[in-house]
Structure 1
Amino acid sequence: MMSQTITVECVSPGLDPSTVEAVVTLPTFRRPAHLLATLASLRAQRGAPNFAVVVMENDAEGRAGLNAARPLFEGGTIAGLVLVAHERGNCSAYNAGWQTALERFPAMRHLLVIDDDEIAAEDWIAQMVATAETLGVDIVGGPQLPRFEEGARTFTERHPVFLPPYVTTGRVPILYSSGNVVIARRVLDAMEAPFLDTAFNFIGGGDSDFYSRCRERGFTFGWCAEAPVYETVPARRTEFSWLNARGLRNGAISAIIERRRSGGRGAARRTAKSFALLAASPFRSLKLGLGTGSATIGLYHCQVAVGRLLAEFGRVNEQYRQPEHN
């Protein structure tokens, strides 16, 4: 069971949980203006099953997101509720929303996730749910397409951190991000709370770890290329320092997840793999750099390999610890 404190602050009037087939969970942290834009895109959905929205405010002190969203929910403009997840961290926010959705909406069949820096296409919910049912899979992801803010170095749109992992709709081996996903209720019922390991709260990668555990339990994955969300990318995320930190972090996450799956018995083999990837990374980086015409982008494979090796020795950068720099 979950131990963190969750406070439901407001519920839309006349909400009938027994009629809600899909729940959109929306974590927020100090982005009230963009949260309202995200909510506006959810209000504009077409062809969707009856759905409700659960906003998870993760700034228990400032509550800017709660204050911005409250009038929409209390006025009945949006069906659903707003809660405060008092334990800081993105995994804690997800856990609070997912657990609340399970408890409050007994008829829910699908749970969707969108972040507070994203805008949904107008048929996003309909496309995601339909793809999950058509493919017969348990979890479906979709593209998170970047929209760069003024001053951003837009050539970085070709950087691997901004590219979707798949390009066509269909079954896929696994997913990596929770920023655009639909999860069947049966998955959450089977995995049980807490769903995301809070050890990843400030590192990131809790979603990747969750998917890895889901795959071990036999759950299947799909991709819906027709259901994008549009992610606002601040200019700082196109700077070398942020891209470098993200590459190191991605490498660290891969090592951590692999260590958790293999246990202590696979330490020597895993470390050898990390050194082998480091040795191969200059060649992979050279190929990427030549293909994109950018040394900044090309360095990504080296950064991932270095981050993976550093994690083997306990050095992991908590990129989300200071959100103002993320």
Structure 2
Amino acid sequence: MAIDLPDNITVFACSPELAPETIHVVVTLPTFKRPEHLLKTLRSLKEQNTPRHFAIIVMENEAEEQDGAKVAGPLFESGDYKGLVIIAHDRGNCNAYNAGWLTALKTFPNFKSLVVIDDDEIASPDWLENLLRTQETYGVDFVGGPQVPVFAKPEHQVWAKHPVFSPHYSQTGRVPIIYSSGNLLVSRKVLEAMPFPFLDITFNFMGGGDSDFISRSVVKGFTAAWCAEAPVFETIPERRVQADWIRARALRNGVISTLIEKRKRAQEPFGGLKTVLKSIALLALSPFRAIVKITQTGSLSIGLYQVYIGLGRILAEFGYSNEQYRQPEKN
């Protein structure tokens, strides 16, 4: 099947008799150096309880070894899975997403909803159907769902309540914004309305390109909801409960918060100054907020998260960016 794609996107594998015009939902699945877990994620998609006609686009972002494409490609070519495996040759989280979303638009003329799941996640059996029903019930353009952490060691489960791992919402319904694409539904009309590249590659190795994209979309008038009944289960390696990783992630989240707010206020009078003053205020208040959180939870790490967010917001004003995805073996 011929698809008009730019040179930095290559079709690695395609399922036979795909019939693109029959597809109403596209699930995009970026992958980078996780071939074994990619297969687990794919199996969970195969087990979805839904009558919807959906296709999967796997976006391999490791253009040299292509381990993910090599394990997934034969499964698509044999017809076990419906969809495509593509190579997103330009490295980076945002580039992978952009490649998959553009491929969806160019391949499937009738899809109405695009869904995202990561290659370190397992979808619950009713995940896809519940996301779609929530979209239909509330008439929104984005639907997010919880990413439930599954830790490598059972004793690490105490970290589930840490802000780095806990979901932003707990109940199904309309929400002002979604903060992550790790479990996300996007309506086609959002992709058709927003400029390409959808995710700003400034965020390629830092993360936050998804939050920035959703924020810009909400400013344009698109709406969001949360579906508590559509969890994915995210595998958390031991590395991510170490103090330096938690600290780096908190600082990064503060940096992203400042960058997104600067963009939102770009056209406001004194918008930059307002952002700086807010950052200073949040940093000044953070020790008191930390004390409250430590008292409530008994966790020093949860309390310090408030301080690191404030520090990250200030550091962003000096050009600091923590590109955790630059070295994936440390992430």
TM-score by length of 2: 0.96
1:211 aligns to 2:214 (yes or no): yes
The equivalent of 1:9 in structure 2 is 12
Q: How far apart in 1 are the matches of 2:272 and 2:132?
A: 40
Q: What pairs with 1:20-99 in structure 2 (closer than 5 Å)?
A: 20-99=23-102
Structure 1 gap ranges (5+):
none
Shift of 1:123: 1.1
Cα separation, partners in 2 of 1:99 and 1:46, compared to 1, 3 Å: same
Does the CA contact (< 8 Å) of 1:41 and 1:121 recur in 2? yes
Q: How far apart in 2 are the matches of 1:151 and 1:59?
A: 31
Does the CA contact (< 8 Å) of 2:13 and 2:74 recur in 1? no
SS, match of residue 134 in structure 2: helix
Q: Aligned partner of 2:294: which letter?
A: G
Q: How far apart in 1 are the matches of 2:231 and 2:273?
A: 41
1:174 aligns to 2:164 (yes or no): no
1:288 aligns to 2:271 (yes or no): no
The equivalent of 1:120 in structure 2 is 123
Does the CA contact (< 8 Å) of 1:58 and 1:93 recur in 2? yes
**Among 308, 311, 320, the residue aligned to 2:325:** 320
The equivalent of 2:259 in structure 1 is 256
Does the CA contact (< 8 Å) of 1:4 and 1:87 recur in 2? no
Cα separation, partners in 2 of 1:105 and 1:125, compared to 1, 3 Å: same
Number of residue pairs aligned between Structure 1 and Structure 2: 325
The equivalent of 2:133 in structure 1 is 130
Q: Aligned partner of 2:312: which letter?
A: G
The equivalent of 1:101 in structure 2 is 104
The equivalent of 1:279 in structure 2 is 284
1:298 aligns to 2:303 (yes or no): yes
Q: Aligned partner of 2:228: which letter?
A: A
Structure 2 gap ranges (5+):
none
Misfit runs of 4+, over 4 Å = none
The equivalent of 1:162 in structure 2 is 165
Q: How far apart in 2 are the matches of 1:20 and 1:208?
A: 27
SS, match of residue 235 in structure 2: strand
The equivalent of 1:310 in structure 2 is 315
1:230 aligns to 2:233 (yes or no): yes
Shift of 1:4: 6.5
Q: Aligned partner of 2:321: which letter?
A: V
Q: Aligned partner of 1:276: which letter?
A: A
Shift of 1:3: 6.6
TM-score by length of 1: 0.97
Cα separation, partners in 2 of 1:7 and 1:226, compared to 1, 3 Å: same
Q: Aligned partner of 1:154: which letter?
A: Q
Task: Give identity over the alignment, percent.
Answer: 56
Does the CA contact (< 8 Å) of 1:48 and 1:125 recur in 2? no
